[in-house]
């Protein structure tokens, strides 16, 4: 695994190796504290981030590597002077041992990987993908449900612009007997392209019109924020809010995930419910990203 660009690239075996390694690292972090000794990782973020950037950066530090970071590349890098993404990557690749990049272009990670001579990790690319988010989502599901096959997963919110949804669908294409229940406002419905991916990978797609259409024993409810910043038109407000009353219609074993940040699609009255996993999910991201960095650098040897 030189580059991490899309969930398309992972085999079921790759995923198992990453998740198993994440479990090993979190059980014995001291064993890995010098694993990236002498390595420099550059985080290039052209869009805002709390979790992805900080968990990657903490992962590098916990593995004994060093960091160079552009937190706000859109305004603080030479892209404001008209430098192309390709030229930025041509320069940075000569300074560092790996690049973790978030960008507003859907194809930014592929473009960077074509130029870079060091590994490129996609930390979110426009409306395209967010593969490392899906790794931590699936890792959380594996820890909480004990399996990644035979799952009913409800996907909610902004299914058209939400890159975490797109990557999640691709990643679960590696697993069997997955039923996706999609609930969103009509203007945010899942694009046909992703419905096809669900069906071509042998999984099932069900379009829902209300919470009542989602099975009561659904394993995962995965909500997402409306990506207002990605669109010129007004996408309106979320209509399908998970609150205490809604969650209580579902099984005691249904878990609620969200990549965060949330706006108002998950009410704070469920935060202390044992089924609310979104903060645990965010914390799992650090262990998964540590495992991923170990794999990427292992490949480099």
How many of the other CB atoms lie within 10 Å of CB of 81? 6
Residue 133, token pair as written in the block = 């988010």
Residue 86, token pair as written in the block = 């390709």
Catalytic residue among 103, 130, 152, 223: 130
Q: What is the residue-wise DSSP string for 188-242?
A: GPPPHHHHHHHHHTT-EEEEESSGGGS-TT-SEEE-----GGG-SS-----S--B
Catalytic residue among 39, 51, 142, 289: 51
Select the residue interacting with ligand CP from 9, 34, 50, 248 (CB under 6 A). 50
Nearer to ligand CP among residue 126 and residue 203 (C-beta): 126
The residue range among 45-53, 64-72, 181-189, 239-247 that interacts with ligand CP, by the rule CB under 6 A, is: 45-53
CB of 74: closest distance to ligand CP in angstroms?
14
Catalytic residue among 81, 193, 274, 301: 81
Query: Could you confirm whether 81 is annotated as catalytic?
Result: yes
Query: Could you confirm whether 96 is annotated as catalytic?
Result: no
Q: Is 51 in the site for ligand CP (CB under 6 A)?
A: yes
Report the site for ligand CP in 103-142 (rule: CB under 6 A).
Answer: 124, 130, 133
Query: Could you confirm whether 201 is annotated as catalytic?
Result: no
CB of 53: closest distance to ligand CP in angstroms?
6
DSSP 184: -
Query: Could you confirm whether 52 is annotated as catalytic?
Result: yes
Nearer to ligand CP among residue 225 and residue 250 (C-beta): 225
Question: Where are the alpha helices (H) located in the chain, listed in sequence order?
Answer: 12-27, 51-62, 73-76, 85-92, 108-115, 131-145, 163-172, 192-200, 244-247, 278-300
C-alpha span between 99 and 5 (Å, rounded):
12
- The 238-277 site mask, x for binding ligand CP (CB under 6 A), equals ---------------------xxx----------------
DSSP 271: T
Nearer to ligand CP among residue 43 and residue 79 (C-beta): 43
Rg (CA), the chain: 19
C-alpha span between 51 and 238 (Å, rounded):
23
Judge contact between 59 and 289, C-beta under 8 A: yes
Report the site for ligand CP in 163-192 (rule: CB under 6 A).
Answer: none
Q: Is 49 in the site for ligand CP (CB under 6 A)?
A: yes
Catalytic residue among 52, 88, 132, 140: 52
Chain residues that interact with ligand CP, rule: CB under 6 A: 49-52, 124, 130, 133, 259-261
Active site residues: 51-52, 81, 102, 130
């Amino acid at each position: 695994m030189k580059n991490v660009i899309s969930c398309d690239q992972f085999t079921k075996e790759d995923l198992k190796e990453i998740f198993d390694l994440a479990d090993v690292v979190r059980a014995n972090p001291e064993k890995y504290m010098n694993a990236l000794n002498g390595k420099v990782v550059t985080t290039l973020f052209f869009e805002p981030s709390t979790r992805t950037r900080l968990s990657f950066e903490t992962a590098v530090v916990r593995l004994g590597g060093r960091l160079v970071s552009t937190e706000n590349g859109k305004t603080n890098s030479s892209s404001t002077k008209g430098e192309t993404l390709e030229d930025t990557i041509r320069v940075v690749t000569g300074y560092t041992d790996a690049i973790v990049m978030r960008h507003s272009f859907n194809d930014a990670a592929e473009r960077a990987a074509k130029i870079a001579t060091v590994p490129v990790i996609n930390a979110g690319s426009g409306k395209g993908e967010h593969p490392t988010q899906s790794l931590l989502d699936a890792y959380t599901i594996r820890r909480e449900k004990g399996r990644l096959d035979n799952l009913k997963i409800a996907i909610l919110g902004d299914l058209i612009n939400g890159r975490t949804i797109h990557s999640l669908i691709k990643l679960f294409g590696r697993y069997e007997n997955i039923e996706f229940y999609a609930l969103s406002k009509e203007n945010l419905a899942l694009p046909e392209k992703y419905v096809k991916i669900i069906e071509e990978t042998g999984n099932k797609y069900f379009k829902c019109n209300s919470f009542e259409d989602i099975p009561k024993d659904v394993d995962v409810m995965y909500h997402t924020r409306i990506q207002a910043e990605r669109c010129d038109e007004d996408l309106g407000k979320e209509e399908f809010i998970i609150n205490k009353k809604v969650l209580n219609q579902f099984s005691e074993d249904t878990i609620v995930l969200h990549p965060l940040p949330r706006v108002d699609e998950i009410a704070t009255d469920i935060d202390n419910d044992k089924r609310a996993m979104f903060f645990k999910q965010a914390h799992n991201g650090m262990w998964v990203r540590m495992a991923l960095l170990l794999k990427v650098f292992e490949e480099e040897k």
